[in-house]
Each structure stands twice: as C-alpha cells, then as structure tokens.
Chains A and B, each alone.
Chain A
Amino acid sequence: MSQKVLEVKNLTKKFGKFTAVNNISFDIKEGEILGLLGPNGAGKTTTIHMLLDVMDPTNGSISYFGKPLKGNRSEILKKLNFSSAYISLPWLFTVEEVLNVFANLYEVPNKQTRIKRLLSEFEIEHLRKKSIHMLSAGEMARLLLTKAFINYPKIILLDEPTASLDPDIAVKIREFLRRQQKEYKVSMLFTSHNMSEVEEMCDNIVFLNKGKIIAKDKPENLSKQIPESEVEFITINILKAKKFLESQKISFVQNKNTFRINIKTKDISTFITSMTNEKIEYEDISINKPNLEDYFLKMSQRSKV
C-alpha cells in the first residue's frame, strides 16, 4: 500500500466568528492526485494556504511524509511546491532571474539544467530573457508551473493550474502532470473549475462546501450520486409526445420538435419502451448521464439555499 504523503486531521480555520474551514480531514497517498473542489468561498484557498504554512490553522494538524508541518517546516517545504493562478511573481524580473532565485531558494542541484529542461517542457524556452510583465496570461501560467516543479517536488499543490491556457497547451500540461505522477510518483492536490479536467486528472475528490467536506470519493462515484439523467429527443409526433409527458407527470422543456426531460437514470429504459408503446416516433434521442459538473452544480446550488 502506498504511503501517505500528506495527512490532514481535523483542520479548522476561524476568522473571528466565521469558520472558513471546519474540521476537515483527508490524506494524499504517494502518486495520488486529489481534487479539491467546491464553490467560491468553500474554503479551498484557505486550506491550501494552511497546507503551505503561510496561514496558521485554528485547530487540527497537517503532516507530510509522516512528520508534522510545525517543527519540520523547512525540511518539508523543500519537497513541496505550488502553483496558483492567483499568485504573481516579481513583475520587473526576467523569466530566467525569477527561476534562478527560486532554484537557489530550494537549493536545486544543477539548476541551469533543471531550468532549461522545464522551460523546454512547458514550451517557454524562448521567453528566458523576457520580463514577467510582458508575458501573456497563458505564458505566466506556464512560468508558475515551471517554478512549481523546479525543486523536483514530491507533492505539489496546484490551484487552477490550467486557467488561462489555450486548450492545446492545457492538454500538454495535463500530459506532463500525468507523467510526473506515473514516472516520479509525484502526489498532487488539484483544484480547477474545469470539471472534465478534474474528472480526467483526479484519482479522488474532496468536495468542500462552507468549509466542510460534504463528499469524498472517486469522480465517477460522485457523478453517480446524481440520480437523474437528461434525455433529449426529436419527434414528429409533437402533440402525442406532449400529451404523453403530461400524463406521466414528467416536466419537460420544448423547443419546436425537440423535448428535453430529466428522468431517473434507472427509469430511462422503461420511459423509452413506453414511448414506443404510445407510437411516439423519435428521429433522434440522446441520453446525457450525470457527470462531475452536474454534481458540482447541484452541490453549489444546494449551498446557496
């Protein structure tokens, strides 16, 4: 069994009377990618800041590699790094200067080779002499990732790492992250608002809402928690279809000859059989099974109630 790289126990952060993170516990194993999801204000960034030791928890403990973060800070942070779409870098520096400073801060051996390799990996080698403030949002995101991988991290915290990237570059970044996971067993904590990316990347997901963990499972299991699927069909028997849906007390959205309904996934076959029995012909039918995005939307809506 893989060893735990990060273990969070009963972590709580209070700001006065407001509880931003409420008694959460989770762990990340070696080579695991854990998604940390939740609507805005759920406590994701606060959690990440505590994991990076730039914010003190009110209660609870954080351990990396079996050692508590408090008391082993420098030793642990040497093997840890992060990238966040919400953090900047000294804007007058050149790319090369920034990476040199961070390579020295993390005491990276053979730093020039490492910098060259990563710049090439993220396809920003040509920006070496360019000032940070001249970089586009996508180039900046890639530089932040370069900085994040500079110290051969054993665990990396990625807060929206592919935000502002073109789709083709985002694909390459995801491939790179997967390679790091497989070849070097790098563990990752991953947040993103791109749910298909989270589904693709993450082995497990922790869903935060109002500071609490409301779900902890594999992405596919979370999707299964949504009982309903969306069925869309195009028919020439518009009146018949309408009458049928009303008789079955199924709410629907109609656009000319297209109907869209939400129905329990287990009832889909019965529904289609009934339509056939009623001689409602359909030209096209599509069934959209619930995915992580649906789960996210449902949970986010629930949090607003």
Chain B
Amino acid sequence: MNLKRVMAMVQRYFYNVKHSYDRLTDMFYWPLMDLLIWGLTGLYFAKLSGDSQHLTTVLLTGIIFWIVTWRAQYEITTNLLSEMWDRNLVNIFASPLTVYEWITAVTIFGGLKMIISLLFSAGIAFILYQYAFFQFGWWLFPIVVSLVITGWAAGFVVAAIIIRFGMKVQTIAWAGAYLIAPFSALYYPISVLPDWAQKIALIFPSSYIFEAMRQHIFTNHISIEKIIISFAINLVFLVLSISLFVYSFNKSKQSGIIN
C-alpha cells in the first residue's frame, strides 16, 4: 500500500468536486431537501398525535444517519463511474496504482465528504427543528462508523456490478443503497415489517443501528449488543464486498471491459 498514490487519487476526486456542481449538490442540496420535507412532515404528524418530541426526532435521526450510509455507498460508485465517464480507467490502472490503493482512496475521500454532509445536515436540523445531533454522546462514534461500513459494503457490491457489466447498469449507483433502506428500518421498528422482511432485516447491520438509536431516543439507553452485532455483520459484509469487487475487477481485466 503506497500512501502517496492513495493521496494522488484523493486529490483526483477532490478536483472532481471542485469542478462539478453535481457533486456539491449531492453533498448539500438533497440532505437539505430531505430534512425540510420529512422534518416538516414529522412536525405535522407530531402535532396531530400529540407526541411533539419523539416522532420528529425519530424521523430526523433516520434522515441524518441514513445520509451516512447513502453517501458512503454513493461516493464509491460515483467515483468509479467518473473514471468510466472520463474514459480514465486505463490511465489510472496502467499506472502503479493498485486496486487496493484505489479502494482506500475512495473510502477516505468518501468518508471526508460524508463527514461534511453529516455535519451540514445536523446543523440544518438544529437550526430548523432544534434537533440535538449530539444527544447520542460518545455512541455517535460507533453508530457513524457502523453505518459508514454498511455504506462501503453496499458501495463495493454496486461497484463490482458496474465494473463487471459496464455503464449500462450505472443507474444502480444511485439506487443501490435504497435497496437496503426498507430493511434497515430507518423510520420504523423492524416489528412493523412483514415476517419475511423481518428475517431479511436481520442480516443488514444498519437495521441493528437504527433500532438501537430509536431505543436511545425513547429510553435514553442504547443496546451494546445491537451495536456489536452490527459491527460483526459489517465486518463480514465488508470483507465479502471488497472481495467481490476485486474479483469483478479481475474478471473485467480478463474480458477487457477496462478501456
């Protein structure tokens, strides 16, 4: 692993953001819109139900923390796509850069952008709804890390499909993370899902995190067990997803899709 090459790729993706308004929009516009629409919806339902505190907090927590997973996935896949759009894949992979260095670069860069998006969203939620992002205290750290890993794992699965089958399947770069959203129980408990969906939800680490966060909102306690389970599943998912990506990358080198 050569850190200079990793940082060269981080620099390459930084220039992407600098020159592309799309990337800036992704970081700020969509989180802002989600917070406005769902936050106000939450406030309205809270007034109707007479529960002014918990309902809005659950919705806002779901929105803000889903940004973590979504952005982590999105950054990996769109950075891969940007190489394909720019027809730059041969240039970077004919250089000494290894596929593991590329993986490290996109995770570092995606992580940085995710932190900016997360802090921005938390700030907006505080300004608009007095939402206390830091209410989770030190638990924020494992919560965010776990959700980031889920996003990375989803990102590498999606990237594996894109590098194997090319740009004809690029739409999954945007849709990818949303496939696991219903089973992650962002705004509702797993128990409201149908039986078959509950079983699927149990294999997604994000579902444990969102359950733990709701538990904290309602009881002020958090289930360490749920956090540990999420990390254990995440570890397996991450190893499998990176292996799948590297396998697909090597397969595409055989079929000649990297051009």
Contacts and interface: CB of A to CB of B under 8 A. Distances in A.
A91 B84 CA distance: 12
B95 A87 contact: no
B145 to A, nearest CB: 28
Interface string A35-67: 000000000001001001111100000000000
A26 interface: no
Given A54-B90, A55-B253, A90-B86, A101 B98 contact: no
Interface in B91-119: 91-98
Contact of A87 (B16, B91, B98): B91
Given A49-B90, A78-B96, A101 B15 contact: yes
Contacts, number: 94
B92 to A, nearest CB: 7
Interface stretch (A102-110, A183-191, A229-237, A239-247): A102-110
Of B2, B4, B255, B259, which is in contact with the most chain A CB atoms at under 10 Å from its CB? B259
Given A87-B91, A88-B87, A89-B88, A73 B96 contact: yes
A72 to B, nearest CB: 11
A15 to B, nearest CB: 7
A105 B91 CA distance: 10
A105 B8 contact: yes
A100 interface: yes
Nearest to A103: B8
Given A52-B90, A55-B258, A89-B91, A107 B5 contact: yes
Interface string A80-124: 111010011111110001001110111100000000000000000
B94 A93 contact: no
A216 B250 CA distance: 32
B92 A46 contact: no
Contact of B92 (A88, A93, A105): A105
A280 to B, nearest CB: 58
Interface residues of A, number: 34
Contacts of A52: 90, 94
B82 interface: yes
Interface residues of B, number: 33
A77 interface: yes
B86 A88 contact: yes
Nearest to B8: A104
A106 B15 CA distance: 18
B96 A77 contact: yes
B47 interface: no
B130 interface: no
A96 to B, nearest CB: 10
A134 to B, nearest CB: 12
Given A88-B87, A97-B15, A104 B4 contact: yes
6 contacts: A46-B256, A52-B90, A53-B93, A55-B258, A87-B87, A90-B12
Interface of A: 15, 46, 49, 52-56, 73-75, 77-78, 80-82, 84, 87-93, 97, 100-102, 104-107, 131, 147
Sorted from nearest, which 5 A-B pairs have the closest CB atoms?
A104-B8, A92-B19, A88-B87, A52-B94, A74-B96
